[in-house]
Every structure is written in C-alpha cells, then in structure tokens.
Structure 1
Amino acid sequence: MILLLLVLGIKSCRDSARRDAFKNYVRDVAAIVQGSDSESKNLFAVLQRPGGQGQVQLQNAINGYESDATQLVDRAKGTSHPDEVSTAQRYFVEVLELRRDGIAHIAQQLRTALSGQGGQDAVGRVATQMQLFLASDVLYSQRFLPNLDRPLKKEGLLGQVAVPRTRFLPDLQWVRPITVARSLKGLGAATGPSGPIAPGLHGTALVGVTARPGGQQLSQSGATSITITAKLAFDVNVQNGGTNAERDVVVQLSIVGAGRPIVREQTIPSIAAG
C-alpha cells in the first residue's frame, strides 16, 4: 500500500510538472506575441502618419523596429517548451522570422522609396514585403495554433490557458503599392517616374489564379487539390479597375505549408486602365 501511494505520488508530481511546462510555454508565447503586436501597431502608425517626422527620423524608427523584431526571434528560439509542442514551436519561430524579414526589407527600401530616384519601384517593393506579414498571419493561424491546440487538448488545458491570437498586417490594402505610396506622400515618396501620381481612381484586383499544367482554378473559399510536379507554375489574372494605367505591378505568390513558406514574385510591366 505504501509503495502504491508512493508511485501514485510520483506520477502526480510528474503530471503536474508537465502541465506547468505547457502553461509556462503558452505564457512565454503570449508575452512574445504581445511584443510583436506592439511592433505592428507602432510600425503602421508610423507608415500611416509619416508627415509627423522627417525622413531621417522615419528611417531610424523603422531600423529600431527591425532590431526589436530580431530580439523577438531570439527570444522565441530560446523559449523552453515541452517536446509535444516542438512542431508548434518551429512554426512560431518562422512566424517571427517572417515579420523580422519584412521589417528589414522595408527598412532597406525606405530610403529609396522616399527619394526621387527610383521611388516608385521602391514603393512597390515595400508593398511586396507586406506579403511577408500576411504570410506570417496565415502561418500562425493555420499551422502554429492547430499544432499547439492538439497537445493542449490532450492535456486537458485547452480551455484553461489563454492561447494568444495575433494579426500583424492590419489591412490587406497594405499589399497594394498605391496604398504605400499614398501613405508616404507627405514625405515625397508618392512619385512616378516623371512626377506625382496621376489624379483619378487607382486600383488593381486579383481576378483568378490557375495552376499549370493541370489547369485547376484556385478557390478563395476552399482548398484546391494540385499535383506537384517540377513544371508547376501559376497564371495570375490581374485587373486594373482604375482610370489610370498602372505600371510595375508586383505579384507575389506565397505557399504556406510544412516548412518555411515559399515566396515568389514577378512584376507586370503595365496594365491598361479598365
């Protein structure tokens, strides 16, 4: 009887320690997510109101966010976690790496975007990097959370711990170069090759995506089964819904799944109005 009680006591202690490890991990993740969400808030506040500071101050602010994002990646990599959430942990680090890389690329392009030489191209590249933020949000919700929720549910902790949600990209409009250009207009970035943006309606829209060589149409409302081959490619149909011709329209493809997301981009030289 004494031996049985001793064994039960040891098992109870181990179970308690394991549950505490899960709780501590979720708590650490929540703290890092809070820091990342704060970065998003500060970054887009600066991008939305760049006129409140000079170009040097704006550049320094973005550089500071890049440094902070790098520190968050390091914190995530050093987070202690139970073996059961190793897959979730890997995705969590990738989420933060995507956000760090997006901020870093924006910082690199910002100086050119704010200049009169090549400013339009740089604005397009800044908008392209917003796709990294979008990919990080998808990776978090579709890969990290499910791989964390399953072991938490198995331990009976899913309803007992507050698993954080996060969204770094506040609005999908930020992936459009015209949105970035208008945001930075106060500092002289919203320029075309020979002057300011033409008046009138601007805007492009994604009409459809077709996988080749199979010819499958990708759906926005559900999954599409595609056979992976060495010749896999995608045809992207983009429509100009504005009253002005659009030039150097950047199209980026992000494939999120097992491992690091695959990101490819190409530029459409011009799209006629309408």
Structure 2
Amino acid sequence: MISFAILIVLLLVLWVNSCRESQRKDAYKSYISKVSDLATQSQGLGKRLNTLLTTRGTKEAQVEQELTGMAQLQEQQAARARQIDPPGRLRSQHQHVIEAFDLRVSGLNGMAAAFSSTASSKNSGQAGLDLAGQMKRLVASDVVWDDLFKEPTKKELEHQQITGVDVPDSVFIRNPDIATSTSMKAVWERIHGASTGGGTSSCSPRGTQIVSVTALPTHKDLSTSTTNTITTTSDLAFAVTVKDSGCAQEVRLPVRLSVQQAPTPLKGRLTIPLINTGEQQTVVFKNLGTYNFAKTTLTVDVEPVPGESNVNNNTAHYPVEFVLPTK
C-alpha cells in the first residue's frame, strides 16, 4: 500500500509539472499571437503610406487627411500593445514593440504637420528636409522592431524551448531610400504641384529608359545585336534595370517582359514604386513558366510616363536561344 501511495504521489507531481509546462508554453504562444495581429495591422498602414506617396495626382489636403487618419489607427494599435501582458522573460522585448509603434505614430503625425506647414511654401528643399526627418522615424521603427524585439524574442523562445511559433515581421518602410531629403523633396513637389493645379510635374523633359537586362543566376548581360544563349534552370530569372532619364521623380512605373513562343508567350509585369531623376532601379522577373528550346525574342519595356516625348528607349528586343544545361 505504501509503495502504491508513493507511486500515486509521483504521478500527481508529474501531472502537475506537465500542466505547468503546458501553461507556460501556451502563455508564450498566446503572446506572440496577439503581437502578430498588431504587427500585421501596423505593416498594413505602412503599405497604405507607400501607396499614398506613390500615387499620381494626390493633393496635399488628401495626404494630410490620410496621414492623420493613419496616425490615429497606429496610436490605437500602440494602446492595445500597452494592454498586453507579456511573459516575464519577454517584458523588455515587448517595450520595444511599444517603442516601434510610438515612433510610427510620431512619424505619421510629423509628416501630416510638415505637409500642412509647407502648403503655401515654395521652398521645396526645406520641405524635403522636414519630411525626410519624419520618415527617418518610420525607418527607425523598423530597426527597433527587428533588432530589439524580433531577434531577441526568437532567441528567448529558443532558450525556453518554445517551438512552432513564428515571431512576426512588421516592416513599415519597404524602401528606406525614400526617406532621403532628395526623394521627399520630389514627393513634395509632385504633391504640391497637384494641389496648385500644376499636375504631376511641370518640368520638361520627362522620361525613362531600359538600361540593361541580365540573365540570372549566371549574371549574363544580354545583347540586342547578337543571339544570347541562355541555359534554362529552375532558378532562371531576368534582372531588368530602368533609369529615370527625365527631370522628375516618377511613381508606379510598370515594367513588362515577354518571351515570344508557341502556343503561349511567357509574360511578366512588375512595378517600380518610386524612382528619382537620374536614378537606376532593377526589378527581377522570376518563375515565368516553361521555356521552349528554340531561338526567339525576349522583349522588355517600361511604360512611358505622362509627357514623355522620346519613347524609343522604352523598349528593347533581345534575340535569345534557350538550351538545356550541359551535363
């Protein structure tokens, strides 16, 4: 009887410990789930901001209203983050979630105020500096999230042997290059021009051009004058470099690539969100489909921008021949 009683006690102890361990892991998983919801919502606001800043014809009053509304939504998310009670070993990391959200609230409100204060200004350089200062807060929020929340949280979960949990991303500014005073000056000029009846841009000439096409992963630069032999592999891709050769910042610039073949041509379409005058940007076309092993033509084109007069360099044709890999 005594040994049986001891066995019962041991089983009870093991059961209690197992329950505690399960509750401990559930607490971590529940916390990450709550933060993930907020991270996704905040990242969605970042996408809205990118759309706002890269839409032709948007007026200052619209921009200010949108920015204020986004700031209010982000402030609500920050308030919800403050209500979350994280597991003890993640308390310091959670403070950086709140810090990242607060930086986003500050940056959005600051941008709204900068647009409002420069509405009647003609000093685009100063407006660009003011806006870039606020954009840098948004870029900083991404650094805080990644370096002070995401990575330390991943390490702590590994240390606690918590598996099956993905610590979320929350990227607010996909392209940090937009946060420069040069980029924001051009953004302000475009939006300011729309508000004062100047359209998207009053400068001339405007234009874009195809710079080069490179086959990946071999990094073979394609020629427009001789046949380009291209080995078809599962990771074959094409990097298309485009230049803003005009006088104005351009936004939402469509780039297309096609390969002529029967019965159905291979086609792809990508968009450059924003490109500054004189700048080059590269888009990569992947997973276009199955290539026919034959000689054909690969064509790339960048859509002309409003007011572009020289469109001869917007399209390029490359003679190509797709072949099997050599053994």
Which residue identity is paired with 1:129?
A: Q
Report the Cα distance in structure 2 between the residues aligned to 1:122 and 1:115, rounded to whole angstroms: 11
Flag the structure with higher helix content.
1
Unaligned runs of at least 5 residues, structure 1: 191-195, 201-274
How far does residue 164 in structure 1 lie from its aligned partner after superposition? 1.0
Alignment equivalent of 2:189, drawn from 158, 177, 185 = 185
Report the Cα distance in structure 2 between the residues aligned to 1:119 and 1:178, rounded to whole angstroms: 10
Query: How big is the alpha-carbon RMSD for the aligned residues of Structure 1 and Structure 2?
Result: 2.5
Which residue identity is paired with 1:78?
A: Q
Alignment equivalent of 2:171, drawn from 167, 171, 175 = 167
Deviations, residues 137-179 of structure 1 (Å, cap 9, x unaligned): 1111111123211221123224x11211222112122122221
* Secondary structure of the structure 2 residue equivalent to 1:184: helix
Q: TM-score, normalised by structure 2?
A: 0.55
Provide the residue aligned with 2:34 in structure 1: 28
2:161 is aligned with 1:156: yes
Contact 1:47 1:183 in 2 (8 A): yes
Deviations, residues 59-111 of structure 1 (Å, cap 9, x unaligned): 11111001011111111111121001111111111111111111111111111
Contact 1:114 1:189 in 2 (8 A): no
In structure 2, the CA distance between the partners of 1:11 and 1:171, relative to structure 1 (3 Å rule), is same
Higher alpha-carbon Rg: 2
Contact 2:29 2:165 in 1 (8 A): yes
Provide the residue aligned with 1:210 in structure 2: none
Alignment equivalent of 1:132, drawn from 119, 130, 137 = 137
In structure 2, the CA distance between the partners of 1:66 and 1:189, relative to structure 1 (3 Å rule), is farther
Provide the residue aligned with 1:18 in structure 2: 24
Provide the residue aligned with 1:227 in structure 2: none
Over the matched positions of the two proteins, sequence identity in percent amounts to: 25
Which residue identity is paired with 2:189?
A: K
Deviations, residues 3-46 of structure 1 (Å, cap 9, x unaligned): 11111111111111110010011111110110111000001211
Provide the residue aligned with 1:99 in structure 2: 104
Which residue identity is paired with 1:46?
A: L
Alignment equivalent of 1:2, drawn from 8, 13, 16 = 8
Which residue identity is paired with 2:93?
A: A
Unaligned runs of at least 5 residues, structure 2: 1-6, 195-200, 206-327
Report the Cα distance in structure 2 between the residues aligned to 1:61 and 1:92, rounded to whole angstroms: 24
Q: TM-score, normalised by structure 1?
A: 0.65
How far does residue 119 in structure 1 lie from its aligned partner after superposition? 4.8
Which residue identity is paired with 1:181?
A: K
